[in-house]
């Protein structure tokens, strides 16, 4: 039976770390609740690993504090922080068996031999590697090695577990299996987990909350639903899921406004998101919020009804089983996408057809304009 570890309440206050001119981490503050699974999600180079290293005690920040249960631990050496760490490359000692690898942190902490043996056995059971304790890393698969690394990170019953792209080196199937294992261990141990990935899907599946990183800063923290439904920036909207983004100048105040641009007809939006008349703005419409109908004699609704209708030519239709995904080229040459559920999709619409893309203004997200988001490196 696995004993519950006490879970840590972790806080970062104004953490900053520079390397030369690069702000690897720039004024990051987060509060992580006991037992929470928080994921840091962002493009490569956005400062995720540096943040984890600051929490673990491998990197000293230039500014800010790390607090565990309201106590500053910024000056404590790594091995005295009671924080477990798993990295992408398993970092196991090749000349030690799985058991010896797992026992290592206990040895460092001066745990007696008999207690050590019991703890190692318990950790092996937790990661489901019973009977494999006497194997060397080279005799284990990648997924098994990563389980040993996980066992080694939890064997001393840390209050917080840090994981930096732990699945990065595994293939898709192993990744999914290990995802489930990590989620089970999180539940069983009740441990606080701080997890790093650049894989949006992984973040969605595993996390209680997600922190979106961008150039050393956190752009937004929230549940997957909050980030998807109520992104506070175009960057977050484009990073979480797929989106159609229209840029323009906002006209009108309050109730209903219009986004006006040279390359597309005015787009009606509800409210003005506090941006005001004349602001440079962006409207984000999720593909599943767009309807696709064949263009024809049916009258196009007036803009003041709140319905937007753009006509374009279908470039591609992808059959998804659950529905269809349409790529539609608008007169300005932009490609837009719509995802329509099986019940509403017209199976006769195909490549080359002229269609109407429509959505109601209440289904779109109005945001301040900003430079396009960087692509995620994988
Ligand atoms: P991520 O984990 O999100 O990919 P990192 O935290 O590894 O990002 O890196 C953030 C930035 O800091 C990058 O520009 C990276 O090149 C830089 N950086 C990280 N570690 C070092 C280091 N030891 N020396 C110099 N630059 C570094
Ligand atoms: Mg990294």
| Predicted local distance difference test score (pLDDT) of residue 169 | 76
pTM for this prediction:
0.88
* Domain coordinates in residue numbering, the chain: 10-229, 242-368
Q: Determine the distance separating the centroid of ligand 2 and the alpha carbon of 182, expressed in angstroms.
A: 19
Q: What is the pLDDT of residue 373?
A: 45
Percent of the residues in the chain that have a pLDDT greater than 70, as a whole number = 95
Q: Note the pLDDT of residue 170.
A: 81
Angle between helix 113-126 and 172-189 (nearest 10): 120
Q: Which atom of ligand 1 is nearest to the CA of 59?
A: 23
The per-residue pLDDT for 6 is 66
**How far, in Å, is the centroid of ligand 2 from the Cα of 199?**
12
pLDDT digits (tens, 9 = 90+) for 244-270: 999 999 998 667 789 998 888 899 998
Residue 323 has pLDDT above 50, yes or no: yes
User: Could you report the per-residue pLDDT of 139-186, keeping only the tens digit for each?
Assistant: 999 889 999 999 999 999 999 999 999 988 788 888 888 899 899 999
pLDDT tens-digit series, residues 207-254? 999 999 999 999 999 999 999 999 999 999 998 889 999 999 999 866
pLDDT of residue 349: 95
The mean pLDDT value for 285-300 works out to 90
| Atom number, ligand 1, closest to the C-alpha of residue 49 | 2
Residue nearest to atom 7 of ligand 1 (CA): 49
Give 5's pLDDT tier (boundaries 50, 70, 90).
Answer: low
Residue 184 Cα to ligand 1 middle (Å): 31
Q: CATH 2.40.50.100: does it fit domain 242-368?
A: yes
pLDDT at residue number 263: 83
Question: Sorting pLDDT into bands at 50, 70 and 90, what band is 302?
Answer: confident
For the cut 90, the answer to whether the pLDDT of residue 30 exceeds it is: yes
Within 6 A (CB) of ligand 1 lie: 19, 22, 24, 42, 44-50
Determine the distance separating the centroid of ligand 1 and the alpha carbon of 236, expressed in angstroms.
21
Q: Which CATH superfamily is domain 10-229 in?
A: P-loop containing nucleotide triphosphate hydrolases (3.40.50.300)
* Matching fold, domains 10-229 and 242-368: no
Q: How confident is the model at residue 271 (pLDDT cuts 50, 70, 90)?
A: confident
Confidence of residue 306 (pLDDT cuts 50, 70, 90): confident
């Amino acid at each position: 039976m696995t004993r519950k570890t006490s879970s840590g309440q972790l806080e970062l206050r104004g953490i900053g770390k520079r390397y030369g001119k690069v702000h690897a981490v720039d004024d990051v503050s987060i509060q992580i609740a006991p037992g929470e699974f928080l994921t840091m999600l962002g493009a490569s180079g956005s400062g995720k690993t540096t943040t984890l290293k600051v929490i673990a005690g491998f990197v000293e920040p230039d500014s800010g504090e790390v607090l565990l249960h309201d106590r500053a631990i910024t000056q404590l050496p790594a091995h005295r922080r009671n924080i477990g760490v798993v990295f992408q490359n398993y970092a196991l000692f090749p000349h030690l068996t799985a058991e010896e690898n797992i026992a290592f942190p206990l040895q460092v902490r001066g745990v007696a031999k008999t207690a050590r043996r019991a703890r190692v056995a318990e950790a092996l059971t937790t990661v489901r590697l019973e009977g494999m304790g006497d194997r060397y890393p080279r005799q284990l698969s990648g997924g098994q090695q990563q389980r040993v690394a996980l066992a080694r990170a939890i064997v001393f019953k840390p209050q917080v577990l840090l994981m930096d792209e732990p699945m990065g080196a595994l293939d898709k199937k192993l990744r999914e299996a290990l995802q489930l294992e990590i989620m089970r261990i999180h539940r069983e141990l009740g441990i606080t987990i701080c997890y790093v990935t650049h894989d949006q899907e992984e973040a969605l599946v595993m996390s209680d909350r997600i922190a979106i990183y961008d150039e050393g800063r956190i752009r937004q923290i929230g549940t997957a639903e909050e980030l998807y439904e109520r992104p506070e920036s175009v960057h977050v909207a484009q990073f979480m899921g797929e989106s159609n983004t229209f840029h323009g100048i906002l006209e009108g105040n309050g109730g209903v406004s219009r986004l006006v641009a040279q390359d597309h007809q005015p787009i009606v939006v509800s409210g003005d998101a506090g941006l005001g008349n004349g602001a440079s703005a962006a409207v984000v419409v999720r593909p599943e919020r767009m309807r696709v109908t064949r263009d024809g004699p049916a009258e196009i609704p007036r803009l003041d009804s709140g319905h937007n209708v753009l006509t374009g030519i279908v470039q591609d239709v992808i059959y998804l089983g659950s529905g269809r995904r349409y790529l539609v080229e608008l007169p300005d040459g932009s490609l837009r996408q719509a995802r329509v559920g099986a019940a509403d999709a017209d199976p006769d619409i195909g490549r080359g057809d002229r269609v109407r893309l429509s959505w109601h203004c209440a289904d779109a997200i109005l945001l301040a304009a900003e430079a396009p988001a960087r692509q995620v490196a994988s």
